[in-house]
Structure 1
Amino acid sequence: MSVRTQAPRTTLLAHLTAHRPVPPLPAGEDFAPAPSPDGRRVAYLSDRAGTPAVWVRDVDAAEAVALPSGDEPVLAVSWSPDGQWLACVVAPGGAPRTELWVLRPDGTQRRQVAGFGRRSAALSGWLPGGALMAVTETAERGTAVLVDADTGHRRVLAEGDLLTLLDVSPDGGSALLRRGPRNARWLELLDVATGDRVRLLPDTGRGSTDQGWFGPDGTSVLARTDAFSELAALVRVDLTRPASMPTPTRLAGRPDAELEHVAPSVDRRRVALLWNTYGGRSELSLLDLASGVQRAVTAPGEVLDGAVFAADADLLCLTAQGPVQPREVWLVDPATGTPRPLRPDTGAARTGDSGVAPQLVDLRARDGLPLSGWLYRPPGPGPWPTAISLHGGPEAQERPGYNPLFQALVAQGVAVFAPNVRGSSGFGRTFVAADNLAGRYGAIADVAACADHLVDTGVAIPGRLGCLGRSYGGYLVLAVLVNFPGLFAAGVAECGISDFRTFYANTEPWIAAAAVSKYGDPVRDADLLRDLSPMTRIDQLDVPVLLIHGANDTNVPAGESAQVAQALAARDVPHGHLVLTGEGHDFLARDNAETARTATTAWLSRHLAVTVAALG
């Protein structure tokens, strides 16, 4: 573990002690599966050795084998359709800039193939049959490039602002590009020979198209989009029609759930659909694209992600988790829809019955907008000291997944409410865009509405409310503390923006460009951004605050927390400043994540005045 603590005029973390045992962490979490083409083996990521690394397991084997994927954390792994290579997206120092490496399935011939220098590399997938990868490299602009894993040969297809390569047609003559900023993306069809591009879907002025790929013969494009409906759906565009921008055909959509993710089979004749139902629980279905028949599959957990088909076999792999179920890899037989765990000891043997399951709670914002969130209650009668936890994004969602921090706080007698304020995903395009620009004032007020609700319903003890959050949630913590002084007794802000001016000046250029549609333009909207910046009213912050940041964070640079700590120190406001070396925006090493978790639990337990009597 590598930790640096800065504590000018702070309440020392060493003085904070736990009141009751915290539920034990699992030996490791397994996630992001990548099956071999024949479906006999599965590569996946696991942090059981300390940081996420690549492991391989035969589907019928009791033991897994760790591959020598290097010392840096691995964010994604993918198996080539010819079975000869594994591609790994690596985050050096945990930072947002990533590299693409390849290695043989036996761990040999490991080498870097993309993401050199200041470029960040992302893998969209493999072209059918061989070792050619569709890659996007991003620096000031995005570059769509094909990379041969065998030779390292690179072929640039296109360059542009906010550009991502999604797919290449079976004949190699066309490429599918995604363009645009957050919540306002669209698809373009690229003629590889001429470089000409054409927009695929009509501009409705609403929604975003985030996923897309070619159909089985290259004469159609399928896409996940909410440009034509309030909730995201699956549509198909016929490329043989003469119109320059044909109207899409709706293939799958629901009035009660948002289509969160689509995983196509390699032959593009069927897809796995991950549905996000109200509140964030997952449902899974399989759609045969030829017949249009869709059938439900039993979900092996409350929250699913990472679905992927094996190239040449009837096998679907995915990651499942729940409030007391750590992330685990599951296998689904598409013919029967039957799920089974990859790891033999998955299930009760790993998770036991420790921890609490949350309750979905509905409430209203101060302007009447419907809100919801997940409430974790300690044992015994309330009210309790209570912490409001704010997720990142903001286009993310609080869901009933595995969160050891929540369980640790509940074990200390602190209730946790994890709301989805306006701007969260999973509730439709209007809700996710409701905090854009000046709508952010409403998101900040939503946190205050949650505090009111918790007190009014007898959950929270007045005067003993805290708030915590990371990334955008860290920003909201600082924003609510300076805009609603006296409402909260303490806060923990992890990797949060404190001043939009310094954020835009110091973040990665592609992150800044993509954020304009959500936060505002740093020049055109300078006055709005100044007013929304917590540093503008930092003199209103007068409660104990713990600031946590990764030293290598170039998404929200570590200076965002440092300038808050400096301002609080100048006014003798109790605070802590914990800087984790070797980490970026996400804390990927298990020991560093546990350090942040322990510090957060201790800080809130102390400053919310948790007592032995309160624990019963």
Structure 2
Amino acid sequence: MAADARRALTGTSGRPGPARAGDGGAPPGRGPDGAWSALHAGPAAGAAPAGEAAVPHTRDTAWSPPAAPSGDTDETAARPAPESVVLADTAAQHDVRRPLIAHGCWYPSVDPSGRHVAVICDRTGVPQLWTGPVDGDEVRLLDAEPDPVTEVSWSPDGRWIAYTTAPGGGELTRVLCVRPDGTGRRLLAGGEPGTSAHLGCWTHDGSALAVTVREPGPADPDRAGLAAGTAPAGPPVPVHPGDWAHRDGHAVLLGGAPLTVPVGPQSGRAGTHPGRPLGTRTLTAYLVDPDGASAPVLLVSEPGAASLRVCALSRSGRFALVRRGPRGGREALVVRRTDRAVTCAVRAADGDPWIGGFSPDERTLWLRSDSGREFAALLEVSLGPRGEWRGQRVAAARDDCDLELLVLHHDARSALLAWNVRGVSDLEVTALPPAGSADRATHRAGGATTQAAGGATSLATEGATAEPDASLTGPALPHEVITRMAPGSDPDSPVLALSGSRRRPGVWWLPHGLPLRTPWSSRDEDAIPGGPGGHPPVRPFPLRPVARDGLRLGGWYYRAPGRSAHEPAPCVLHLHGGPEEQERPVLQTLYHELLGRGLDIFAPDVRGSSGYGRSFVDADLGTGRFAAIEDVADCAAHAILAGLADPGRLAVMGRSYGGYLTMASLVWHPELFRTGVAVCGMSDLLTFFAGTEPWIAESAVHKYGHPERDRDLLRALSPMSRIDELRVPVLAVHGEHDTNVPVGESQQFVRAARERGLEAELLLLRQEGHDFRRADNRRLFRRTAADWMQRHLLGQEAIHWAP
């Protein structure tokens, strides 16, 4: 078992009902199959012994949250489980006032019949919950509240649609559900002050939904890790001191000796970093009955966790697939529900949190993983009768690209695979053989050999500028990038959310491989609103710069309309966030605005980006971040030497980590850029760690360093430490409710620039967090940024047309 799995996954942070027999009983230990018990050695009260019976979720008794025990002063005492709260219905007809013509639709979830889809759509100017038929144009707004919706999931029995909202546009979210007709809306989790909640999976019968609640935990990090009692005996689990470097080898500690973490073979790697809690929060997952007839059921809990999501439940309900851990250290855990023991731990790939599921007989776990690999693949993990790891092998893989999205059909006998082929998506519909079957088919797709489970169909994307192999079969998808997949009732008729460089995000239905746009998604001709000076969206072309140390980078270049191919142009380098995000050829209204002002855009992937393998992602860890800052200058030089960019009219811009990299580039390369726009960026990594959410800090340690042990490195990497080198005007943009990167990070950079006599402005967007979701704010942001670039790169003042 991996070392991360041996950390306490406890039940002490929340008791959904009366005290259970065994709570606070014997200390944890090993069960007969060698698995660590997460809470105690015996099964939970009312549960059959492990391996003997299913664990159903029943609705036979009404319940009310219990009162807190009197005199309970223990800091690790139980906290109340989520309580369902009925809300007023807010459904509306589809003919909303002043709908956006060029709207986007994304994150589809299909009903059991396969004929209706619940989606997120911003046709009112705010991402909200809508539903409509796959082949009709009558849509319905199910929740007219102004809080942006971020995730959607239709229950397997069709009775409920669960969704996540971000009140006030901030980072704390809550989980709600509503009937498909817009009635019965209720709050399931995340409604208490200071808490946050996000979606997990449904039970197979639709009777309960898994939700993860982030709640305050013990104030003392040392006690947080011991919430379940004494740590189990066995191989030592080291305290994580902000180590990084090679995930599959020694963890190199700054100022210390290499550290080896002994783990079992099922982890698929030689070491793992469990992580010392940096904050005072606990993540706890429950099964919640949306009808409110049964008490929430505790699934798993972890103090100081960076992430925790229940991705799948086995058919009988005996096992849960849990994704946990910080970025760069994600793990897939099989948790046996009868005693909440972790029976299997396998490395999971970063990216999409929905990582896999169980076979119908519960003897196979299908997993998106990069265990022992450079690129993520489909992994077949064999499980024993008690959920224990029995072995694993690669079921589908490509030599040079990641498996980016994995969705199992409801019967778990087929799957949808989306491959990231140099930034462009390639879809496979594949059959999954029974457990232990050796039936494998090999075929060519996207220029790489694919080991596919069963038979597979591959669909290419239209305009795939990454030059896919001519052997691809099937019709072309109308967009370059698949952002989400939802299986329909028929395995051959999935629903996809697609996004492309010249079209708004939309939802498409693929009956037997024929892509059909849902009538309520924006039409292609509505991709960009018309008006004076309008121009069609620009399709980018790929560039592959080479860094000064020989590392090959990537990215996409957008040429402003009407410009000669050999004319050096004013150019904006736009840097994505993450750092593990990847630049993709999708429609960016910000890019469209800048291109319309006569500015070219180069959007590079510097080291640390995803899509190029794990070694590339890890190339910026620790002191490697200095090289990532140099990559920005090398990308600018590449565009200049290629005759694309004018060296005297360069600007840099980015959001989140890209905002940090923007500020860093301005002070490390003060003569290269004429201006910069930093959006939600970190200006001082030490103040960032002090002010960010604890779970963000837990993940950020892996990338940047520990705020106590690595203070000198963090200080050296901080733009504020070199603020005297700043020479050019700067615009900072921030959401007022951003708690991922607090607004003070922008404020102190702008203040310091002004104190040095430089032009510096801060645009603070109301009712927004780390992501800008409201149409009016997005419009204000892109116009303000484009005005700034136009003035400082072209020496022109902007003239606005009506929206």
The verdict on how the C-alpha distance between 1:295 and 1:417 changes in structure 2, with shifts beyond 3 A counting, is same
State which drifts further: 239-248 or 45-54.
239-248
Is residue 2:374 matched to residue 1:374? Answer: no
State which drifts further: 237-246 or 371-380.
237-246
Candidates 328, 337, 348, aligned match of 2:524: 348
State which drifts further: 305-314 or 38-47.
305-314
Give the Cα–Cα distance (whole angstroms) in 1 for the partners of residues 754 and 669 of structure 2: 21
Given that 1:207 and 1:227 are in contact with CA atoms closer than 8 Å, whether structure 2 keeps it comes out as no
Secondary structure of 1:200 counterpart:
strand
Given that 1:385 and 1:610 are in contact with CA atoms closer than 8 Å, whether structure 2 keeps it comes out as no
Given that 2:209 and 2:290 are in contact with CA atoms closer than 8 Å, whether structure 1 keeps it comes out as yes
Tell me how far 1:26 sits from its aligned partner: 5.0
Secondary structure of 2:636 counterpart:
helix
2:545 aligned partner: 363
The verdict on how the C-alpha distance between 1:611 and 1:347 changes in structure 2, with shifts beyond 3 A counting, is same
Candidates 402, 407, 416, aligned match of 1:258: 402
**Structure 2 unaligned blocks of 5 or more:** 1-99, 216-280, 434-438, 440-453, 460-475, 529-534, 798-803
Tell me how far 1:344 sits from its aligned partner: 6.1
Candidates 310, 315, 321, aligned match of 1:170: 315
Is residue 2:474 matched to residue 1:308? Answer: no
Candidates 115, 136, 157, aligned match of 2:212: 136
Given that 2:204 and 2:313 are in contact with CA atoms closer than 8 Å, whether structure 1 keeps it comes out as no
Candidates 202, 206, 222, aligned match of 1:126: 202
The verdict on how the C-alpha distance between 1:208 and 1:245 changes in structure 2, with shifts beyond 3 A counting, is farther
Structure 2 length-normalised TM: 0.70
Candidates 285, 293, 317, aligned match of 2:428: 285
1:93 aligned partner: 168
Matches within 5 A, 1:47-446: 47-117=122-192, 118-139=194-215, 140-151=281-292, 153-160=295-302, 161-162=305-306, 163-201=308-346, 211-240=355-384, 245-278=389-422, 280-290=423-433, 292-297=454-459, 298-310=476-488, 315-333=493-511, 336-343=512-519, 346-351=522-527, 354-378=536-560, 379-381=562-564, 382-446=567-631
2:703 aligned partner: 518
State which drifts further: 313-322 or 49-58.
313-322
Give the Cα–Cα distance (whole angstroms) in 1 for the partners of residues 688 and 525 of structure 2: 45
Give the Cα–Cα distance (whole angstroms) in 1 for the partners of residues 633 and 208 of structure 2: 51
**Structure 1 unaligned blocks of 5 or more:** 1-24
Secondary structure of 1:96 counterpart:
coil
Given that 1:86 and 1:102 are in contact with CA atoms closer than 8 Å, whether structure 2 keeps it comes out as yes
The verdict on how the C-alpha distance between 1:485 and 1:331 changes in structure 2, with shifts beyond 3 A counting, is same
Tell me how far 1:591 sits from its aligned partner: 0.5
Tell me how far 1:548 sits from its aligned partner: 0.2
Which of the pair has more CA radius of gyration?
A: 2
State which drifts further: 442-451 or 182-191.
182-191
Secondary structure of 1:560 counterpart:
helix
Matches within 5 A, 1:428-577: 428-577=613-762
State which drifts further: 417-426 or 506-515.
506-515
The verdict on how the C-alpha distance between 1:570 and 1:154 changes in structure 2, with shifts beyond 3 A counting, is same
Given that 1:37 and 1:313 are in contact with CA atoms closer than 8 Å, whether structure 2 keeps it comes out as no
Given that 1:316 and 1:331 are in contact with CA atoms closer than 8 Å, whether structure 2 keeps it comes out as yes
The verdict on how the C-alpha distance between 1:347 and 1:313 changes in structure 2, with shifts beyond 3 A counting, is same
Give the Cα–Cα distance (whole angstroms) in 2 for the partners of residues 373 and 32 of structure 1: 25
Given that 1:490 and 1:604 are in contact with CA atoms closer than 8 Å, whether structure 2 keeps it comes out as yes
Give 1:236's aligned amino acid: E
Secondary structure of 1:445 counterpart:
helix
Give 2:321's aligned amino acid: L
Matched length: 583
Could you report, residue by residue, the CA deviation over 1:305-344 in whole angstroms, capped at 9, with x for unpaired residues? 11011357763111112111110000112xx222111126
Structure with the bigger percentage of strand: 1
Secondary structure of 1:538 counterpart:
helix
The verdict on how the C-alpha distance between 1:273 and 1:312 changes in structure 2, with shifts beyond 3 A counting, is closer
Could you report, residue by residue, the CA deviation over 1:265-297 in whole angstroms, capped at 9, with x for unpaired residues? 11111111111001x011111110026112113
Give the Cα–Cα distance (whole angstroms) in 2 for the partners of residues 247 and 39 of structure 1: 35
Tell me how far 1:154 sits from its aligned partner: 1.3
Structure 1 length-normalised TM: 0.91
Secondary structure of 2:783 counterpart:
helix
Give the Cα–Cα distance (whole angstroms) in 1 for the partners of residues 367 and 426 of structure 2: 19
Give 2:137's aligned amino acid: A
1:14 aligned partner: none
Tell me how far 1:610 sits from its aligned partner: 5.2
Give the Cα–Cα distance (whole angstroms) in 2 for the partners of residues 313 and 473 of structure 1: 39
Secondary structure of 1:548 counterpart:
strand
Give the Cα–Cα distance (whole angstroms) in 2 for the partners of residues 51 and 321 of structure 1: 18
The verdict on how the C-alpha distance between 1:244 and 1:128 changes in structure 2, with shifts beyond 3 A counting, is closer
Give 2:212's aligned amino acid: T
